[in-house]
Chains A and B, each alone.
Chain A
Amino acid sequence: MGEMKVFGWTGKILRIDLSKKKVSTEPTWNYAEEFVGSRGVNARILYNETRPGSDPFDPDSRLILGTGPLTGTAAPMSGRVTMTAKSPLTSLYADSGIGGFWGPELKFAGYDNLVIQGRSDSPVYVWINNDDIEIRKADHFWGKGCRETEKIINQELGDPEVKSVTIGLAGENLVRYANVRTMLKHAAGRCGMGAVMGSKRLKAVAVRGTKSINIAKPEEFLEYVEKSIAAIKSSPSYEYWCNVGGGLAGRPTDITFDMELAGVGFVNGPAWPEYKRNSLTEFNLKYGTAMVGCFNCPVNCLTHIKLPSVGSQPWGCAPVVDFMGRIMNPDPKKAFECVILCDHYGIDTTSTAVNVFFAMDCYKRGIITKKDTDGLELEYGDVDATKELIHKIARREGIGDILAEGVLRASKKIGKNSELFAPHVKGLEVYGGIAIRPLKGYALATAIGPRGDHTRSWNEAETLDVPGNFLPAKMLKEARVHWTRVFGTEKACCHNEYEGKGSASAWQEFRIAMLDCIGMCKFGLWSGSFLTDEELYTGLCITATGVDLDERARYEAAERVLNLEKAFNLREGATRNHDNLPDKYFSTPIAAGLHAGGLIERERFEKMKDEYYAAKGWDANGVPTLEKLVKLRLQDVADDLKKSGHLKKEP
């Protein structure tokens, strides 16, 4: 192909085989035409190169890090990377986003995606320095924490501008929900990416790039950049999110607890009288020093906390609710201590909190005793015990070795009906930050989401009619009008409605996948609705790449990706029955509070799934139809699904 100039993309995918110690590249255009980039290109490579039924820890397993054509450009919110692998928790498709500054640096080094395969004989790290790739020894910092590792690498390589993704002890010990981290807080948190990396004895990937990303129409692109930044800043909730006291760690989360929409414990239900109103806002105001975030982001959703003699790092998002509501601890200070520990070990706060609370539930019911916990008493809300468990899990010591397997496997091992207290979907621990029973659409999204959760599938319109919603009245009204128009029914804005939620999930999946594939942050479409104008995304894409990546093209690529992800799961044996929720949400109404009586009705839940599958153009079993796959030019996938019996072979 020669040195033809490429715009937006770098044009090269880097492949590293840790078994053969081989480095190679291939053209991004092998995949980008159909799958654009990032999540899309990653998904195609994973599908092509994963043997169905294989063990996620197999040396042959793929760990893929992917940027999109807009990643690293001047477009706002363009700093994220998608990590893709077969999850050690679910043995299904998984993708996990990671922010910070690593993704742009990979682009500046000249690569769109990085595919890692094989397994090293000894601990190593990869060093990508523009065209020079080295596989270097990591023995001397194997065992170190994530941030420690980064600093050691920067010292060793003599350049403070090197960006690294790292694993901690949890990843090294193959804790099934170990994460991959960068800087002080950013993480590819869910689904166990860190464990896959650890199984390859890969401690870190360090990158430094000084090349340029070419832009097809620089002046016009700059105009779209300016317009996009202005759009973000003028979004109604910008001020609300982007100041200390607000953001993902502060007032919005306080209000979620006030609305009793945050998960508390498991069976208990979201009413939580011990919660002190405004406690998170006050904590963040007192100890927060700045809002921080990712490359090129005007939002900066994380709050940097400086807590004397405890630590100095950002927090926000899931970790806050994980160590407050989920384990029933009302003290933000103690929650912060748990977060620091998890970030050091490189372990997903959401899954960790679920496993900790699972142990607490089992202890409360006598399913496990002090004998099993090495003398630890596991009372609800006991943060000291929580911290002990985090240590044990990361180190795989005592009961930690069982919990490190995740609640699905742990409950099987423990037995005694402990499965009743193991909240997971397809093996992935249920996110505790949002209560399931009050929000029917959220319940559906959690059940049908490609990786086992709601994040790529939930439209938040249904929270508009929940009392106590923090949006100003005028915004609430405008939002209702907007979403009613989009979905053709007001029911999408009603949390107790079952109808309309299937279509809403399908719609959301397209929008999120479209964003993911070009390399922009999902937060543009969530809560704050910072950047929702498809015309701006189109403008950015076309002027950056010179390719006709308009809304229709992105939509089609997104549909291709979503069908491919579904086919991957079908190939691994997932069925309609796996699109399900823990029994408790169907059997136990919420006992008290604003949403007392809240329950998911099984029959209506199944109808939601029917509506969702139909909206996706899939059959009643959730299998993409032959017509759909052919139209999307996924003939090979259709052939695979015929072989597996999901699709009928022609007579």
Chain B
Amino acid sequence: MKSRLKNSARKLYVNLHVKRHLSAERVLLRKALVLDSEKCSGCRICEGVCSLFHEKEINPEKSRIRVIRSEEDAAFMVAVCPQCDTPICLEVCPTKAISKDESTGVVTVNHEACLGCKLCVYVCPIGGMSFYTDMRAFKCDLCSGDPECVKNCPRQAIEFIECDKIGMAKKRAGILKTSNMMRLVMEKSGEYGE
């Protein structure tokens, strides 16, 4: 009896330890869509390929990613679910139709359980949840790891980057922009040695 308890305890200890280790690894593998609005030209190809891939039709209203255009500013960007770590949509769903996969990080809506109450649409701070008639609430699922929008964006304005590398990627891009600007300023003032 004692040895059986010991074995169970050992198993439990091993399982818990290994699982925590595995979870940490899996979390490291999570990737996310990273958007560079300066590269986006607002062309909307991403909407087309998204609805084509998922729904086999072309319809921006059935796309999980949407383009926002500001004409006079010539500023364009995309809005898509960022797969929050602690999703508000998941919390508010009355039928618990929304869940989060621990390894991929993907937040998913179970269509069968969805009432279409739209609470998730209202509470998302960036409008990441889409809604369309009989599709009810639907959202980005990262295309099972090979996002179509990333593959087809002509400007590479959408990238698919490991979450723990996003910060550095953005910092590098930001510094390059700043240093470009600084170089231009210095060139103009003649201070840049050439």
Contacts and interface: CB of A to CB of B under 8 A. Distances in A.
Interface stretch (A210-218, A271-279, A603-611): A210-218
Given A184-B72, A214-B57, A225 B152 contact: yes
A213 B45 contact: no
Size range of the chain B interface in the assembly: 20 to 34
Interface in A186-245: 210-215, 218, 221-222, 225-226, 229, 232-233
B21 interface: no
Interface string A281-315: 00000000111111111101000101000001110
Given A218-B52, A312-B72, A314-B74, A300 B41 contact: yes
A449 interface: no
A221 B45 contact: no
Contacts of A300: 41, 43
Nearest to A73: B58
A183 B70 CA distance: 11
B48 interface: yes
Nearest to A311: B72
Contacts of B42: 292
A76 B154 CA distance: 10
Interface in A73-106: 73-74, 76, 101
Interface in B21-70: 41-45, 48-49, 51-53, 55-62
Contacts of B96: none
B152 A226 contact: yes
B48 A296 contact: yes
Contacts of B170: none
B194 interface: no
Contact of B49 (A211, A222, A294): A222
A76 B59 contact: no
Interface string A446-466: 000000000000000000000
B57 A293 contact: no
B135 to A, nearest CB: 11
Contacts of A290: 41, 74-75
Interface residues of A, number: 38
Contact of A225 (B41, B43, B52): B52
A293 B76 CA distance: 12
Given A293-B43, A312-B72, A213 B152 contact: no
Contacts of B132: 210
A226 B154 contact: no
Contacts of B155: 298
A297 B61 CA distance: 19
Contact of A229 (B44, B45, B55): B45
B17 interface: no
B101 interface: no
Contacts of A212: 51, 55, 57-59, 62
B41 A292 contact: yes
B151 interface: yes
B134 interface: no
B57 A213 contact: yes
Contact of A184 (B48, B71, B154): B71
A135 to B, nearest CB: 25
Given A215-B58, A225-B52, A296 B152 contact: no
A382 to B, nearest CB: 30
Contacts of A183: 71
Contacts of A306: 74
A213 B58 CA distance: 5
A72 interface: yes
Contacts of A442: none
Given A74-B52, A210-B132, 15 more contacts: A73-B48, A74-B45, A74-B152, A76-B154, A108-B61, A184-B71, A184-B72, A215-B58, A222-B49, A222-B148, A226-B151, A290-B75, A294-B43, A295-B44, A313-B72
16 contacts: A101-B44, A210-B132, A212-B55, A212-B57, A213-B57, A215-B57, A218-B52, A225-B152, A229-B154, A292-B41, A296-B45, A297-B43, A298-B155, A304-B74, A312-B72, A314-B74
Interface of A: 72-74, 76, 101, 108, 183-184, 210-215, 218, 221-222, 225-226, 229, 232-233, 289-298, 300, 304, 306, 312-314
A-B pairs with the 6 shortest C-beta distances?
Answer: A74-B48, A298-B154, A304-B74, A212-B57, A212-B59, A218-B56
